[in-house]
């Protein structure tokens, strides 16, 4: 799958399995999402551009490198908030821009209710953060907003994805790079990922109601 990176690693397999479990409590779920977000971000940032610099160690002056691009982190509210702090720890100088999107349950289409994307001065690289890529509607809306802003390089980081969502993103934003921990089997008739992990937002923020 062009531009699709399913990150395969023993730690990812281990953490995803625990993330799926119905027995995993919200506090552990949040921790696991954070760990997986870091592993995804590590993979997604391997091509960031560097510039040479010099640094004073306690002993000598030596050569080194520093990031040379403006990087934007774009969590899709609300579940994407569970990924922002761990990734921001890796990229403390990154800018954070928020997009609020929810899925209309009757149409399965994304509805934007909040946007903090400026009108000019786009970042060089944008990482869209959303734990689940289901239908792809919200992801496409976010990526399209960023492309319209003028961002030349957009990447989507999701913990799990459905094949249908991946294909929709590829068809609508073909130059977007997708990084996922696991590609699941399918979407069910209610457009939930199977086997999935339930509603990531509800599990992160402990708002499930039986």
pLDDT score for 100: 80
Q: Is 202 a catalytic residue?
A: yes
Residue 109 DSSP class: -
Q: Is 107 a catalytic residue?
A: yes
Collapse the DSSP code of 40 into the 3-class scheme (helix H, G, I; strand E, B; otherwise coil) and give the result: helix
pLDDT score for 119: 81
Bridging pattern class, strands 132-133 and 186-187: unpaired
pLDDT score for 114: 76
Burial class for 144, CB neighbours closer than 10 Å (0-12, 13-18, 19+)? middle
Which of 77-104 are b and which e, b meaning 16 or more Cβ less than 10 Å from the residue's Cβ?
bbbbbbbbebbbeebeebeebbbbbeee
pLDDT score for 48: 96
pLDDT score for 77: 85
CATH label, 4-48+67-205, candidates 3.20.20.140, 3.30.565.10, 3.40.50.2020, 3.30.390.10 = 3.40.50.2020
pLDDT score for 99: 84
User: What residues does each domain of the chain span?
Assistant: 4-48+67-205
**75 and 200 Cβ atoms separated by less than 8 Å:** no
Q: Is 124 a catalytic residue?
A: no
Q: Is 199 a catalytic residue?
A: yes
Residues in the chain: 210
pLDDT score for 1: 41
pLDDT score for 116: 78
Those residues with Cβ within 8 angstroms of residue 169's Cβ, 6 or more apart along the chain or in another chain: 133, 136, 139, 140, 143, 156, 176, 178
Around Cβ 38, how many Cβ atoms within 10 Å? 14
Q: Among residues 18, 103, 124, 144, which one is catalytic?
A: 103
Q: Among residues 13, 107, 207, 208, which one is catalytic?
A: 107
pLDDT score for 209: 57
- From first to last of its 210 residues, the chain has per-residue pLDDT tens of 458 999 999 999 999 999 999 999 999 999 999 999 999 999 999 999 999 999 999 999 999 999 999 999 999 988 999 999 999 999 999 999 988 876 666 666 777 777 778 888 999 999 999 999 999 999 999 999 999 999 999 999 999 999 999 999 999 999 999 999 999 999 999 899 999 999 999 999 999 755
């Amino acid at each position: 799958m062009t531009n699709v990176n399913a990150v395969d690693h023993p730690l990812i397999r281990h953490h995803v399995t625990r993330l799926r479990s119905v027995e995993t409590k919200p506090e552990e779920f949040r921790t696991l999402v954070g760990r997986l977000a870091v592993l995804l971000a590590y993979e997604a940032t391997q091509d960031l551009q560097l510039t040479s610099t010099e640094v004073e160690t306690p002993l000598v002056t030596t050569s080194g490198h520093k990031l040379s691009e403006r990087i934007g982190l774009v969590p899709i509210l609300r579940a994407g908030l569970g990924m922002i702090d761990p990734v921001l720890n890796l990229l403390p100088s990154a800018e954070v821009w928020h997009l609020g999107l929810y899925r209309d349950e009757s149409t399965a289409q994304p509805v934007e209710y909040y946007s903090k994307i400026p009108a000019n001065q786009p970042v060089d690289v944008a990482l869209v953060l959303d734990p689940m890529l289901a239908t792809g509607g919200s992801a496409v809306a976010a990526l399209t907003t960023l492309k319209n802003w003028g961002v030349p390089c957009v990447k989507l980081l999701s913990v799990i994805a459905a094949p249908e969502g991946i294909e929709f993103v590829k068809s609508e934003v073909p130059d977007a790079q997708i990084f996922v921990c696991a590609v699941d089997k399918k979407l069910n008739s209610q457009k939930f990922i199977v086997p999935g992990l339930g509603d990531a937002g509800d599990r992160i923020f402990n708002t499930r109601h039986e």
